[in-house]
Structure 1
Amino acid sequence: MVTRSWLFDAMIYMYALSLLFYFSDFANASRSAKRMGTGLLLFVWVLQTAYLAMSLYGHLTQWAFVRSDVIFMFSWLIVTISLIINRFFRIELFVFFVNVLGFAILALNIFGNPHVVPIRSAWEVNDELLFIHISLAIGSYAAFSIAAIFSGMYVFLHNQLKTKNFSQAVMRLPSLEKIEHYTYLSVIIGGPLLLMALSLGVVWVFLEGDRNLLLDPKVINSFFVLAAYAFYLFQHKSMRISGKKLAVWNLAAFCIVVLNFVVSNLVSDFHGWIWS
């Protein structure tokens, strides 16, 4: 059964948006974010169920499933289990990571399926996977850049207030509490976007069949970026660290982002196109 990939693209993007809301709920205990995440995930489940039912109906005369059907059923089962757990238990972080796995498996099934036709006739299916991967990565870098700007503002304002320098520039800035809150929100958005971008990147490497690409300097450094911001969130959420120390750490994490974007691309085997 040949299927236009717009249906699967809708699943991928809604799945990604659902994960953002789920992570926001974990970080801020937001009931509205949880409802949005659950609603989007439920819609993904409905689309998966409809496609799976049509696919299975097409195989009624056969005794064996093709590989894509098995992987798709596994992804559907993960979404189903996560919805049940989300309904009856309060373990948001578990649901988030389970769905990151489901997100990667769904992408593997979609972009590894030879019967999926790209939206653009000039593209291959892997080109769409790469497009989504790059879109998510750019989104995460934009969020981290905004977080770094806010952290810079925090350090500046903190130093000015400490020396009691109440200039006009200082008076026009938001409060330290608001700046810290905006920084935190930016990292909450950037972190899951980068995690999903990396998961799709791993899927792309798997489909390309060259596992050595996982040892590429940019890939390795991207995991360091993810670890740096995960530690930022850990400090804020679990260690209750705030203020200038957290802002300085966020600036240090952004230095790794810059290192990843500049230095790694110069020595990367398959990210050098950025400079072309």
Structure 2
Amino acid sequence: MVTRSWLFDAMIYMYALSLLFYFSDFASANRKAKRMGTGLLLFVWGLQTAYLAASLYNHLTEWAFMRSDVLFMFSWVIVTVSLIVNRFFRIELFVFFVNVLGFAILALNIFGNPNVQPINSGWDINDELLFIHISLAIGSYAAFSFAAIFSGMYVFLHKSLKAKKFSQTVMRLPSLEKIESYTYLSVIIGAPLLLLALSLGIVWVLLEGNSDLLYDAKVINSFFVLAAYAFYLFQRVSMRISGNKLAVWNLAAFCIVVLNFVVSNLVSGFHGWIWD
């Protein structure tokens, strides 16, 4: 049964959005974000259940499952278990990371299924996977850019207030507390987006069948970027560090982003198209 990918694309994007809300709840104990994440994940579960039921019905006369059926069932089980855990236990970080695995498995199933055809007839199904990967990566870099701008504002305002320089520019800036909260929100959005983009990138490498691509300069540096922002969040959430020190660290993390975008692309074996 040949299926157009628009349904799966919607499922992937809703899954990614639900994980953003879950991560926001974990990072800032946002109950509203948790409800939004749960609602989106329930919708993803409903779509998965409907498709799985239809697929199983079409295979009633077969004794063996296809690989795509097994992967889809595995992803469905992960989503089901995570919803149960989310309902009865408060371990948001477990729910988030187990669903990152479910997200990657779902993507591997969809884009590795020969019966799924891309929406754009001129594309290969892997081109559609790359489009989603790139859109998530761009979203993460945009969020990190906003975080860096806010951090720069924080450092400037902190230095000006400390020196008691109350210029018109200083007076028009938001408070230090608001700037710090905007920075934190930007990182909360950017970090999980990058993690999901990397998971799709790994899926693409697996489908290409060339594990050497995992050692590409841009891939390795992307993990350094993720680690830098993970440490930012660790300092903010667990160590309770805030203020100018955290803003400076965030600017340092953005330097790794710039390094990743500029230098790594110049030596990357398969990301050089950015400069074409």
What TM-score does the superposition give when structure 2 sets the normalisation length? 1.00
**How far, CA to CA, are the matches of 1:31 and 1:11 in structure 2?**
23
Q: Write the mapping of 1:36-185 to structure 2, written as runs, cut at 5 A.
A: 36-185=36-185
Look up the SS of the partner of 2:148 in the other structure. helix
**How far, CA to CA, are the matches of 1:264 and 1:272 in structure 2?**
9
Q: 1:28, CA displacement in angstroms?
A: 1.1
Describe the superposition over 1:140-180 as per-residue Cα deviations: whole angstroms up to 9, x where unpaired: 00000000000000000000000000000000000000000
**Which of structure 1's runs of 4+ aligned residues deviate more than 4 A?**
none
**How far, CA to CA, are the matches of 2:159 and 2:65 in structure 1?**
65
**How far, CA to CA, are the matches of 1:117 and 1:205 in structure 2?**
19
AA matched with 1:50: A
**How far, CA to CA, are the matches of 2:42 and 2:71 in structure 1?**
19
AA matched with 2:9: D
**How far, CA to CA, are the matches of 2:243 and 2:34 in structure 1?**
28
**How far, CA to CA, are the matches of 2:264 and 2:43 in structure 1?**
38
Q: CA RMSD in A?
A: 0.3
Q: 1:274, CA displacement in angstroms?
A: 0.1
**How far, CA to CA, are the matches of 1:152 and 1:67 in structure 2?**
50
Describe the superposition over 1:207-239 as per-residue Cα deviations: whole angstroms up to 9, x where unpaired: 000000000000000000000000000000000
**How far, CA to CA, are the matches of 1:218 and 1:63 in structure 2?**
44
AA matched with 2:86: N
> Gaps spanning 5+ residues in structure 1: where?
none
Q: Show the counterpart of 2:241.
A: 241
What TM-score does the superposition give when structure 1 sets the normalisation length? 1.00
AA matched with 2:145: S
Describe the superposition over 1:96-122 as per-residue Cα deviations: whole angstroms up to 9, x where unpaired: 000000000000000000000110000
Look up the SS of the partner of 1:62 in the other structure. coil
Q: 1:262, CA displacement in angstroms?
A: 0.2
AA matched with 1:151: S
> Gaps spanning 5+ residues in structure 2: where?
none
AA matched with 2:109: N
Say if 2:187 is the partner of 1:209.
Answer: no
